[in-house]
Amino acid sequence: MTKGKERIRFDCVGTLSEPHIYKCSVCDHEFRGEIGVTEEREHQLHCPQCEVAERITNHPKKFEVVGVIENAS
């Protein structure tokens, strides 16, 4: 959970380190997420509902980026 107010910029793609809202292409589940970094320094994203996972280099192929979440203090 984030503290304070937040703003969602729809139809925007931020950096890998920013939290986003993603939509899974397999089950259509929308979820908030940050791309995790594994021990091998690979960027990983997975759907919490159907457990589809993907290694990310630039933009995800199995997930649609709905928007970027930014804190609005």
How confident is the model over 23-63, as pLDDT tens digits?
999 999 999 887 766 666 678 888 999 989 998 877 788 99
Distances (CA, A) of 46 to 30, 31, 73: 12, 10, 29
Contacts of 53 (CB under 8 A, 6+ apart): 44, 45, 46, 47
Q: Model pTM?
A: 0.76
- Report yes or no on 61 lying in a domain: yes
Q: State CA 62 to chain mean position distance.
A: 11
- Report yes or no on 50 lying in a domain: yes
- Report yes or no on 44 lying in a domain: yes
Predicted pLDDT of residue 70:
87
- Report yes or no on 1 lying in a domain: no
Distances (CA, A) of 59 to 20, 26, 30: 12, 17, 17
If one counts the domains in the chain, the total is: 1
Residue 13 contacts residue 68 (beta carbons within 8 Å) = yes
The residue range of the domain holding 27 is 6-71
